[in-house]
Structure 1
Amino acid sequence: MRSRVSLTNVSILKFHNVTLHKLEKPLRWTWDSDIPLECMSHEVKIRSKAETSKIWSQWSSWETVPGNSGPQIFPKERTLEEGSDITLCCIARKNKTIKEFSVRPAGDVFNHTIGQVRLLTVKNVSHDKGSNIQFYCLDEDEELQQAAFFVGKPPYTPEDFSCQTQDMKTVNCTWRKGGETYLYGQNLPQYTLSSQKIALCNASCPTECSCSWHIGQQRIWNVTVTVKNPLGKKTATDAFDVNHRSKVFFCVFVWGFLHPSSKYGIPWSVTVRGLQPHTEYKARVRCGAAKHFWRWSEWSQPQTIRTMEGTPSGKLDIWREITPVLGGRNVTLFWKQTRSFKANGRIISYEVTWEKTEDGSKPERISFSSVYNSTRIFIDNYSYRISIMAKNSVNFSLPSVLIISSATDNSRITGTDDGILISWEPRSIYDSYIIDWCNFPRLQPCDLQWKIFGSNTSSAVISSASFVPGVRYKFRIYGCVDNRASLLEKKTGYLRELPPQLDPIVKKIDLTYSSVTLYWDYHLTNESETGFLRGYHVYVSPIQGNCNLKGSKKHILPDYSELCKYTIENPEEKSYTVEHLMSSTKYKVSVKAFTGGGESPIANFIYIDTPYNCEYWVPVICLCRHAEDQDGLILKKDTRECNMCPFPAMCVVGRHKLTGPGRRALDRPNTVFQLEENTELLVLVFFPGEFNICFSYCGKSMMEQQRLFTSHSKNVSFFGV
């Protein structure tokens, strides 16, 4: 058999062989073309050969199936199943060509052109990009053809299909429609109920799926619901006896208590056991037929029930804080309800009992309203057994017992990202451990907290929403055995250390020409410190220029200026000497305390002036003239020259009149000599006028300089010319 697809001058030939058995009836053969028959003309001719013969007959003449004429898109409209493929063609007018053939939204598309026909195949169509697909075809004359296709799914089998009657006259069937088909309008699933091929009712099922009909005298039914859409159909069936599907009964919930002390309860409709005391419940019932059970009735209206109170179960979680006082101890007791404790009613009071463990003396008792969770009692230095119970309207809870014990030393701990890590040395004699602490150690009451750990635990991370950085927390670790708690260790630490808030106070400064010694005080208490004090930093820098003192480290300020930094790692050391300073230089200094959280920024400096550097305590004499004439100076004994005339200075004129230290002593010419003590000085002046001779004793006070000047002035002689 030979087939061909023809369009104008284009032909596609295909050959097909098939073996058929006549069986005395007309022979049929079906062939599916890769191209829709409407897109272009298809021709076929046939020849045959008997099974025993080797010779083929002559070909028949061509039989033509003509294609559609253009312009058009074929097929024009169709509903497509999601995931399927479709091939379309766009046929142009005679002797015209297709300029563009496209699809929106875009997908996996294959284009092929045969003469005046263009083929387009879309693979794996999906509704994700829209509920329909649009095809556009444009020929060379800009004539536009378009077609729309809807993408969806076949209908789902109806779920939970069942029928019932309320009046024995009408049956109502309900079901759930299942999944989404993504088809709308006239393509929505349509539901039909039928029995023995007789249609009973129709439904479109927009929200709830139901359908009703009059049943007449018929009682046995076999009902089928059929759902159809353009992509397929599904069915579900329900066979029933109307007498067993009646909904005329309903349930009323009746309830009552079974008294705890009674063995036999009054025969109510239902007895519910195992409820918790003093607990609110909501209950409802539904009914179903004992025979020919079909389905449950609707739920009754809920009833709210609260059971009666019962004896509290479990024990209170209790702890204590001991403060030594004159003649004994103040014991502050704390209690709280934990998850394991069940009040089983409304707690109306707490009872605290304490008694000596040794001499069997009469116990003391005190009761508190339920609004309290702590109290303070006084005990002497003997061992005591303390118990606390909760009480409701029925009875007391089991007692929680504590036995008082002693104390030990302190150690430091550090915080982590999750809390404060506590570790201790485990001891085999204890069956549990308790850690207590205050959430607010700077307040009273401090909100004492505690946690209990098993005997195999030797560390724990204590966390609390109340923990904040910069606050010192104290922890006590107790070992417990037979209701007796012994204080094992004390720990002190921070969630995170912060820099100190206050600076040390510099009390005293000792200066030499090459060093400065600073003395300071730092009086913060342990409780007010924002971290463990690790030591001090001393900062030094000249006012002009950067610092490069020997033995120091460079420290850069935010303004990029440099300081010399010295570290004192002993918090008890409160003085330090900075050496290698330059004489006659202005410096700024600062002392900062630091903790594990660092130190605060430097805000204030102390300014100092180093004195002039004199190797001996000798006078310095400066000659200062006030006339523009030349002068001469003859020394009986010369000494080495100094750099400048230091201040304060004692200055004299010819009449030995003292002048103030603020007077400039170095006018032009600048002639300065440093003399050995008791050196005789002869000054010969060759010009008339006034001049000054200034004496300065390096490192001496003004009063001391006056005394020295008086004692040495006899060695100075003046000669005027």
Structure 2
Amino acid sequence: MMTSTWVSVIVVQLVLIHGVKTEVEMQSCAEVQTPSSVVPMGSTVTATCVIKDDCPLVIQHLEWRLADGLIPSSPVANHSHRLSTVVISNFNHSRAFLTCSVKASHQVIAGVAIRAGYPPEVPHNLRCQTNLTSYISLTCNWEPGLLETHLMTKYTLHTEIWDLNQNFSYELPPGVHHVTIPRPDFVLFSEMKVLVKAVNELGESTSASIMLEPVSAAKFDPPKIENIDVVPKRFGCLRLRWSLYKSQDWVPASHLNLEVRLRTVDGPRWSEPILMTRVRPKRPMDQCRLLHGTQYFVQIRVRYKQSPWSEWSSSQSGVTLESAPTGRLDWWMKVPRDPKEVNVHLLWKPSKQFRANGQNVSFIVSLQKQGKGKVCTTRKNYCIFRLPGRAKRVYLSAVNAAGKSAPTEIQIYSTKDLMVMSEVTAVPQDEGLLVQWSSVITPPPTGYVLEWRPLLQTHPSHVQFENAARNQTHLLLTGGSLEPYQPYGISVYPRFKDGVGLPLTVEAYLSQKAPAMVPKIQIQKTWGSHVELTWDEIPLSQRNGIIQNYTIFYWDDKGHTQILRAGPDDRKLTLTDMSSESLYEVFMMVSTSGGSLNGSAIHFQIDPFDTVTVGIVFILGGIGLLLISLSVLLFCWYKFKRLKMEFWPAVPDPANSSIKKWTSDSTRDAHFPRDDREQNQIYLSHLSFLDLPLKLNKEDEDLWMSGAEDTSDLGESICGSPVLPSYSGSNTDSVPYATVIFPCPTTTSSTSSTSSSNSSGPPHRKPHVYLRSESTQPLLEAEDSFTPKCYQNISDQHCSFFGPGHDGGSEDGDDPENLWDHFPFLRALAMNDHPN
């Protein structure tokens, strides 16, 4: 053990420090030995690493690796300890390196590449075909098998011509599974044996051999139909002549086979091929048991013995001899429900037993069985005619150049207002439309009529129908008339003994796809946070299917996306919770069961004040203004008198004013208390005080007596004392009515003496004078001459302030001084009453 350790240390020092040996020298120290470098996939592999005598390494310094993976090893007991063996129980790599390397540095000192795979499978499906068109050759093909060998496999084709005892071999490159044998290496009419061998490093395999005659393996070019004629006096027969392709007409005709197929002009498919034997090119060949007077398209193909059939020739047409039509016609009559509509729609088609037996076939609808009373003659499959009022039935016949068919009797049924059908569905199935229906009455009607037509075609010639038995609840509609992506209207009519009930109609498609267009979105109106979107209906020709729904996608500038769906019959949709601060983008997706299509996007933004909002504001504003106006008018109505006084003050007539009248009227109008002992104040609007001299001269008296002058400033002109001409009362609406004039005080001695000489007692007081008005309004002129009243005559000693009276007192003997007590409001006059 110590010896091995020291040896390892020495080796490491030699490799890492001194670097004496190179990589090439290290690899020459050992060798990996295996039984084979190619092994079967999954087999056991044994390898041995042999260290040479001059190499300082020992087996304890080595390790095994397979494709970068470490595998355990076991030493072999011998005297030199120079061998290391590894066993791989399941080798599953198609190619991998098995190496022996140093443990410390992982340096490879020896290795070997091992491949694994499978032996070749037996080639199968060997077939050969001769080309007789231009360059004559024989081509053989085969299939190598499904299992991958992971090894290079070579194929070799071997042929043996028995008549000539010649053998040929053709070795092919790897991966090639066909070979073309040149013309000198085979004989057309001699049999030959053909087989294929496959070889790889794990083994070989051989295919089953085939025996063939090269001419029997030839695929001929399509033959040619020279012409097609009718067979004289033989109905339903066609005679045709044919020939081989020009470069192949040397082939013996004794072993040629021919197939014929036919199709009527309006037939949907070809008939089953008819095998013809013992045929020779350019020899007439008859084909019978065909329809009379019918045009056929004919094709043929040929082969030699069991060789592959040639392609079908080009089509040629021929017409059999005509005869009178036979069989009956299926019909469908639609009588209008409206009594004003008298036209009848009659449709028909050949039944399974009908034979037109001619090319130019026309149809006659008559009122009598013998063909009299014709109402319609046409070559189409429908007729619209006016039905006589008493007709109960009509007769339908087919006519060609050879004769007329037996008439088909058609009963004229009335239309009943009876709904029998409860449900009708139509779904695609097996390249057709499966129509199913159910009835709500028991027992069911005597039969049903299915009518269908393309909705994009309105002409009656496109209408088709099919009759169904009473116990039938479904029918498969097929035929070339049904086209994909086209809408069809399918109606189911119940039939009774004496009439036809109301139909139930559905729309159907043979197949659907996405619509061809998306309607344009229009913003119809906005109000508040709502937006109403509208769109037009998609034209029927652009739908390509039944519309399932309309999907609206919209989002704002922040990326918040909303999705709304509308039904197939909806034409508008309202978006809610919209913000006027965001810009929105919206587009529509229209869907059918066959796909969806997205429309173009539009952008919009809600106005803060839209038309509806502005209208509402105007309406509310108008209503508010109307209410205010009505309130003002009602207020003015109730306050009419007060407002009238504000704008048009009431000015009394000065010509009719008097203090007595005024006083009595004011007293009477006022609401006095019932206690007569208490005197109410007289509510005067304004009082002005003027001081006048005791005696007026003539000029002043004339001035005083003039009724046309304004007396508002009379006090100043008489007494020379300032008097306020303006009014300063509490009620500005009133106009001053009167001015009380006081005598001026005496200032001279002569006046005093005169007064004293005239009276021995106290000086006599002059009565107060009451002027007419202080108003600035112009006084009304009386028609008569001015005659002053008692209170206007200032020199009359018998007049007092309140009317005529006695000298020095009143009638009841009271002191005149006491009169002021009865008139509290006039006590203010005492302030200007000066004693002598």
Q: Is the TM-score greater than 0.5?
A: no
Larger Rg: 2
Bigger helix fraction? 2
Please report the TM-score for the alignment, with normalisation by the length of structure 1.
Answer: 0.43
Larger relative strand fraction: 1
Under a length normalisation based on structure 2, what TM-score does the superposition of the two structures give?
0.38
